[in-house]
């Protein structure tokens, strides 16, 4: 696994190559995604601000950040299910660290995340939120988000290679998580059921980005939660991966 992470030349190039490849023939390139995210955020922002009776100036950046973080989580988890299956031809021909395939997928999604994130300063300016020092925590937030996506992806990729009926289960679970997570609704409206958000890791991952941008606050508790989950998850992923790594090639 360490060797896999160290092979950053390999997965970095491959991930970047994926992006270039996908948008080779289009003018805007990956900014197509930015555009479609912007349209979604705009539409939902306007509509739901009315639903929840929230001021647009608060709700629009809230949805923008929440949705961008959600897209990162969702695509990473979905694509994780087929990482090894898609790389079957390579895995069976050339020995390279398995985790490099996961890193490649994740790197690709981080690049897309950064493209999407270009919306955030625009939205912040539009609603009159100025620069605040707490924003400097964002690289740490991204690191924690990517780290958590990594261990989840490693576990899922391994398990899904063995049991091919898991990806559809994951897809339906993701849908459920989307609706129970405060992506497009504010956790405040839960009232005395606030624990639904407090115990939802996804809420904390989004808080990592929302708190600095919206309130100019460093989200200490969410940072702690994300770090704790990352550490525990990495231990789990290590255990699963160390146990089954040798069997992966046979499962393909």
Partner 1 sequence: MAHIIARDVVVQFPIYDTAHRSLKKQLIHATTGGRIARESGDRVTVRALDGVSFEIRAGDRVGLMGRNGAGKTTLLRMLAGIYEPVGGALDVDGRTATLLELFVGVDLDATGYENIMLRGLYLGLSREEIRSRADEIAEFTGLGDYLNMPVRTYSSGMQLRLAFAVSTAVDADIVLMDEWLSVGDAEFRPKARRRMEELMKRSSILVFASHDRALIGEFCNRVFWLEQGAISEGDPKAPRN
The residues of the shown chain that bind partner 1, judged by CB under 8 A, are 9-10, 13-14, 17, 21, 24, 89-96, 162-166, 169, 246, 249-251
For every residue of 110-154, DSSP letters joined together read: HHHHHHHHTHHHHHHHHTT----GGGGGHHHHHHHHHHHHHHHHH
In angstroms, give the least distance from the CB of 175 to partner 1: 19
Taking CB atoms within 8 Å and a gap of at least 24, the contacts of 8-14 are: 8/103, 10/96, 10/100, 10/104, 11/100, 11/101, 11/103, 11/104, 11/107, 12/107, 14/104
Nearer to partner 1, 45 or 97 (CB): 97
In angstroms, give the least distance from the CB of 211 to partner 1: 38
In angstroms, give the least distance from the CB of 189 to partner 1: 36
Nearer to partner 1, 56 or 236 (CB): 236
Let me know: does 83 contact 241? Beta carbons within 8 Å: no
Coil, helix or strand at residue 53 = coil
Coil, helix or strand at residue 252 = coil
Nearer to partner 1, 16 or 40 (CB): 16
Nearer to partner 1, 90 or 190 (CB): 90
In angstroms, give the least distance from the CB of 163 to partner 1: 4
Nearer to partner 1, 140 or 252 (CB): 252
In angstroms, give the least distance from the CB of 11 to partner 1: 9
In angstroms, give the least distance from the CB of 5 to partner 1: 16
d(CA 208, CA 139) in angstroms, rounded, equals 10
Nearer to partner 1, 143 or 248 (CB): 248
Let me know: does 183 contact 67? Beta carbons within 8 Å: yes
d(CA 163, CA 155) in angstroms, rounded, equals 12
Let me know: does 37 contact 71? Beta carbons within 8 Å: yes
Question: Residue 155 corresponds to which tokens in the numbers above?
Answer: 């576990």
């Amino acid at each position: 696994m360490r060797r896999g992470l160290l092979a950053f030349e390999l997965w970095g190039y491959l991930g970047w190559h994926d992006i270039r490849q996908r948008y080779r023939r289009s003018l805007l390139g990956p900014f197509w995604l930015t555009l479609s995210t912007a349209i979604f955020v705009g539409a939902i922002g306007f509509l739901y601000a009315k639903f929840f009776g929230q001021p647009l100036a608060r709700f629009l950046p809230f949805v923008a950040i929440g949705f961008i973080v959600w897209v990162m989580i969702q695509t990473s988890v979905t694509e994780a299910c087929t990482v090894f299956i898609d790389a079957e031809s390579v895995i069976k021909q050339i020995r390279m660290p398995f985790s490099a395939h996961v890193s490649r997928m994740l790197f690709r999604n981080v690049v897309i995340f950064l493209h999407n994130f270009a919306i955030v300063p625009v939205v912040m300016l539009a609603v009159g939120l100025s620069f605040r020092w707490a924003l400097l925590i964002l690289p740490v937030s991204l690191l924690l988000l990517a780290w958590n996506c990594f261990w989840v992806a490693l576990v899922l990729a391994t398990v899904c290679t063995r049991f091919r009926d898991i990806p559809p289960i994951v897809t339906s679970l993701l849908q459920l998580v989307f609706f129970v997570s405060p992506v497009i609704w504010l956790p405040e409206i839960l009232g005395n059921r606030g624990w639904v958000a407090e115990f939802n890791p996804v809420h904390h991952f989004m808080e990592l980005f929302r708190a600095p941008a919206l309130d100019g606050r460093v989200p200490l508790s969410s940072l702690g939660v994300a770090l704790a989950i990352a550490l525990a998850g990495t231990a789990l992923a290590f255990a699963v991966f160390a146990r089954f790594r040798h069997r992966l090639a046979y499962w393909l």
